[in-house]
Structure 1
């Protein structure tokens, strides 16, 4: 799954949520809107749950982005010292040449 498809899925989900939200209408004695803060709704419990929901959603999005970034090609690249160790292990260079090149890399 590519990053573009993940972002597209996330954006389409958010757009669908906005489209499915309740349209304003009458409630009770001529009040237009939702009753959440006016005694007939969920009050502060509803607000708390909303904050927790969005907090969890944002944390999951951050973790997903970090996970995708760690899987990128930059993690698979070897350092010069790793390549030098591989060449020594394969017998392409002798230990004296390895020591000399290692010292040159560490300077």
Structure 2
């Protein structure tokens, strides 16, 4: 039996015949390799989904904190008498809508 390695595939000469055989097709290593490759890609995809979810939640938390701070500033201005009731309500509605 003669082997020739050509880019990861093996050209095998058995008797009078030559044929292509892939390494993943030989024995149990092929099955273990396939299972580990599948597990690897599942972990990569789950990691990407987790990262996107975390980024979206982080953005949402930032927006909520920003609105809360804006309302605190508005309350302070109202308490100091810098704005009247009508202006306070108008600005508060605008902050809560946006």
- TM-score, normalization by structure 1: 0.46
Structure with the larger helix share: 2
- TM-score, normalization by structure 2: 0.48
Return the index of the structure with the highest Cα Rg.
2
Structure with the larger strand share: 2
